[in-house]
Structure 1
């Protein structure tokens, strides 16, 4: 009878131990589920960012292509303008003389400016005066 009671107590102890271990496993499973949920949300967020960046890259690529096309068009127009000017210079002695003459001093000063280190230096230079000659007076040109 003692052996039977001892076996019964051992079985109850084992059952209690197993119940305790199962409870711990449930807690670990719940914690794992929370971690999986957090990681899944992080992966979804990362995928959204990747998709947005890919869309931005495609948009920028299209914009870059458009700018390259505009630049090519502007370059062609500049070449055409230079060819036209050169043709006019070759055809007309009066235009050739005007083109080769020196600009008046006031106009030359408008085109000549020092190098600036910052926008503030440029604004200071602009407000510094640099008066142009009176247009009512002859400049000798």
Structure 2
């Protein structure tokens, strides 16, 4: 009978030990599930960022194509305008005289800029007070 009681106590001790180990394993499993959840959220966030960046890239490609089309159209219009000007100059002496005449002083100064070594030089020149003549005064042209 003592042996039976000892065996029962040993079985209870083993059962208690196993219960304690299972509790520890359950805690580890819960911790692993939390880590998996965190990593899954990180992966989902990364995937969303990748999709957003891909969508932005597609949008930028479309915008770039649109700008290239507009640039080609503007270039064609500039060529057509230059062709028309050249045609008019070739056809009309009065137009040639007007086209080759010098600009008034104020307008000529608006188009004249010295060479700049840096952006700071340009800003100094720009704010330097290069005033145009008063529009109420006649310039002689």
Instruction: Name the TM-score class by shorter chain.
Output: 0.7 to 0.9
Match of 1:111 in 2: 111
Root-mean-square deviation over aligned CA pairs: 2.3
Q: Return 5+ residue gaps in structure 1 as ranges.
A: none
Deviates more, 1:12-21 or 1:71-80: 12-21
Q: Report deviation, 1:90.
A: 1.2
Moved runs in structure 1, 4+ residues, more than 6 A?
A: none
Equivalenced residues, count: 137
Q: Report deviation, 1:2.
A: 4.1
Match of 1:54 in 2: 54
Match of 2:12 in 1: 12
Match of 1:33 in 2: 33
Match of 1:136 in 2: 138
Q: Report deviation, 1:8.
A: 2.5
Deviates more, 1:13-22 or 1:44-53: 44-53
Task: Rate the CA distance shift 1:66–1:102 in 2: closer, same or farther, 3 A.
Answer: same
Match of 2:43 in 1: 43
Q: Report deviation, 1:83.
A: 0.6
Partners of 2:29 and 2:110 in 1: CA distance: 79
Partners of 2:108 and 2:139 in 1: CA distance: 17
Q: Return 5+ residue gaps in structure 2 as ranges.
A: none
Partners of 2:80 and 2:139 in 1: CA distance: 38
Task: Rate the CA distance shift 1:58–1:104 in 2: closer, same or farther, 3 A.
Answer: same
TM-score, normalised with respect to structure 1: 0.81
